[in-house]
Amino acid sequence: MPFRDVDVNEQGHMIIGGCDAVELARTYGTPLYVLDEDRVRQACRAYRDAFSRYYPRGLAVYAGKALLTTGVCRIVAQEGMGLDVVSGGELYTALAAGFPPDRIYFHGNNKSVDELRLALSEGVGRIVVDNLGELELLEALAREQGRTADILLRITPGVEAHTHTYIRTGQLDSKFGIPIAGGQGLAAARRAAESARLRLVGYHCHIGSQIFDLSSYEAAIVLMMEFLAEAQRATGVAAKELDLGGGLGIRYTAEDRPPTPEELVRRIADVVRQEAARHGIAAPALALEPGRSIVGEAGVTLYTIGFVKRIPGVRTYAAVDGGMADNPRVALYQARYEAVVANKANQPRLETVTIAGKSCESGDVLIRDLEVPPLESGDVLAVLSTGAYNYSMASNYNRFPRPAMVLVSRGRHDLLVARETYADLIRHDRIPRWLEEPAGEVAEAAG
Ligand code: LLP
């Protein structure tokens, strides 16, 4: 059984956001990303409500790396969230959507001069400075533009969250942030506090992603609050804000039991207050940067089943019309997903199949051993919890055009992203001058 009951209509079709999934597949084609607007809004509200209840000086800042389009920016802005961007491209997307710049947090471990100039001239709310080199560069650019900027220093507290190595970031041996260890954090804080152009608003840390164990946050807060107290003594400047990053896990399978945003916020609120009191410093305003837990479970990917290959006594493969190009997470992180046959959503699951993608890689398998009703070519498969880090990490491997994405809400559906065309695939291709002769003449010219 899938980890959650999906809604089913009288034809036995799965429903998402009040829309028949099989109809969506027919209307927009497959593969198709479907995003349930109301679930996104509910997740935003879960953070907002939790902050207003347990820590009113708290802001949820959506991490756009999970899924960013101009339409998604609109939803997040309407929900009163901040927005974490990590590149000029994400910043451009947010600005193009009219996202309020003062609610944008700009991250990145190697921001370019152009990216920093854009952030300064657009007046983004916080630049999260990742290292000393960036601090110096940002100060020089701010001086050049005659501006000042509000910054957070990204600190690596040295905490290991229990998650996949590639999505773990808070430990000492990391390309991100300034380590507390060896006094580097304090040196950066001193340097920032002296700056005439940069206002040191506070500190940031991010310990990892798909985290289920809240004690990882607790450990990070204990270290960060101790650092805040030391930095205040060293610089004379009290941190106004502590940004604890993102990372709350979601349900991909029945075994996943993540804490809720409410549980997370309540726990961090308690620990921050307790540690502030212990060190005799003012409790800072808090920020969290949830990405996956805002959009992950709100997304479903629809595929059409193509060929079904039965190898007697070994395995049955059912191939879909997408795979690692639209969802690289399985190949990259051994991520696990569950799925429902959308046009047979209320039929008993009597068969076990392995869902193969259509990329030219043996490793392109989306789901192993999925229980399904007897499958036929043309069935529509709905893979659940694909809202985060699927579209945003999709590629054109094998020159597959990237799928469309549709937003659904209360029976309405409309495009968030149009399907790429073959023409899009060659749009940026160029033929170097010396290859311009028609193909037949090349052999002669060379000979
Ligand atoms: N803030 C910072 C500074 C981050 O580095 C990240 C994620 C987030 C917030 C959001 O974390 P979330 O709430 O989504 O866990 N591609 C991987 C995930 C990489 C996450 C990188 N940083 C995946 O598909 O699992």
- Where residue 97 sits, what CATH number does that domain have? 3.20.20.10
Cα separation, 208 vs 327, in Å, equals: 20
State percent of the chain over pLDDT 70. Answer: 94
Average pLDDT on 424-435 reads 97
Given a cut of 60, whether residue 166 has pLDDT beyond it is no
Structural domain contains residue 173: yes
| pLDDT surpassing 90 at residue 439 | no
> Is the predicted pLDDT of residue 45 greater than 70, yes or no?
yes
Is the pLDDT at 247 greater than 90? The verdict is: yes
Model confidence band, residue 442 (pLDDT cutoffs 50, 70, 90) = low
Ligand 1 contact via 402 beta carbon (within 6 Å): no
The reply to whether 399 and 301 lie within a common domain is: yes
Looking at the fold, whether 159 and 237 belong to one and the same domain comes out as yes
| Residue 434 belongs to some domain of the structure | no
Catalytic (active site) residue 360: yes
Q: Note the pLDDT tens digit of each residue in 187-198.
A: 999 999 999 999
Q: Which has the higher per-residue pLDDT, 173 or 67? A: 67
Range of the domain at 17: 7-35+296-425
Residue 12 — φ and ψ, nearest 5°? 80, 20
Write down the pTM of the prediction.
0.95
Same domain, 15 and 96: no
Number of H helices, E strands in the chain: 13, 21
Mean pLDDT of the chain: 95
- Same domain, yes or no: 368 and 285: no
Residue 171 has pLDDT above 80, yes or no: no
What is the pLDDT, as a whole number, of residue 205? 97
Task: Work out the average pLDDT over 381-402.
Answer: 98
Query: Does the beta carbon of 304 lie inside 6 Å of ligand 1?
Result: no
Residue 179, ligand 1, Cβ within 6 A? no
Q: At residue 160, does pLDDT exceed 80? A: no
Report yes or no on 302 lying in a domain: yes
Q: How far apart are CA 142 and CA 136, in angstroms?
A: 10
d(CA 253, CA 249): 12
pLDDT at 1 over 70: no
pLDDT band, very low/low/confident/very high, at 440 (cuts 50, 70, 90): low
pLDDT category, 445, cuts 50, 70, 90? low
Tokens of 49: 């409500």
CA dist., res. 55 & res. 272, Å (int): 10
Structure-token pair, residue 295? 């959009």
Residue at a domain's end among 239, 258, 293: 293
Q: Does the C-beta of 168 come closer than 6 Å to ligand 1?
A: no
Inside any domain, residue 447 = no
Q: What is the pLDDT of residue 443?
A: 58
**pLDDT at site 5:** 75
Could you tell me where the DSSP H helices lie in 1-112?
21-28, 37-54, 70-78, 88-96
Structural domain count, the chain: 2
Least confident of 6-10, 89-93, 155-159, 229-233: 155-159
pLDDT average, residue stretch 258-264: 98
Please give the number of the atom of ligand 1 that sits closest to the Cα of 210: 15
Distance 246 CA to ligand 1 centre (A): 6
Would you state the pLDDT for residue 168?
Answer: 55
Cβ–ligand 1 distance for 247 under 6 Å, the answer yes
Confidence of residue 164 (pLDDT cuts 50, 70, 90): low
| Tokens at 57, concatenated | 């000086």
**Domain shared by 216 and 304, yes or no:** no
pLDDT confidence of residue 47: 98
Same domain membership, residue 140 and residue 18: no
The reply to whether 275 and 176 lie within a common domain is yes
pLDDT above 80 for 165: no
**Domain end: 293, 312, 333, which one?**
293
Average pLDDT rounded to a whole number, residues 312-340: 97
Q: Using one digit for the tens of pLDDT, what is the confidence trace for 294-317?
A: 999 999 999 999 999 999 999 999
Amino acid at 78: Q
Weakest-pLDDT range from 8-17, 139-148, 255-264, 438-447: 438-447
User: Is 18 contained in some domain?
Assistant: yes
Angle separating helix axes 88-96 and 113-122, nearest 10 degrees: 30
Percent of the chain with pLDDT over 90: 92
What does the pLDDT look like over 2-31, one tens digit per residue?
556 799 999 999 999 999 999 999 999 999
pLDDT, residue 158, reads: 85
pLDDT at position 173: 82
Confidence tier at 223 by pLDDT (50, 70, 90)? very high
Q: How many CB atoms lie within 10 A of CB 71?
A: 17
How many angstroms separate the CA atoms of 326 and 207, rounded?
A: 27
Q: How far is ligand 1, taken at its centre, from the CA of residue 144, in Å? A: 33
264 in the same domain as 236:
yes
What local confidence, expressed as pLDDT, does residue 159 receive?
81
Q: What number of other Cβ atoms are within 10 A of residue 211's Cβ?
A: 26
For atom 16 of ligand 1, the residue with the nearest CA is 389
Mean of pLDDT values over 55-60: 98
Buried residues in 185-205 as b, exposed as e (16+ CB within 10 A): bbebbbbbbebebbebbbbbb
Ligand 1 center to 295 CA (angstroms): 12
Q: Is the pLDDT of residue 202 over 70?
A: yes
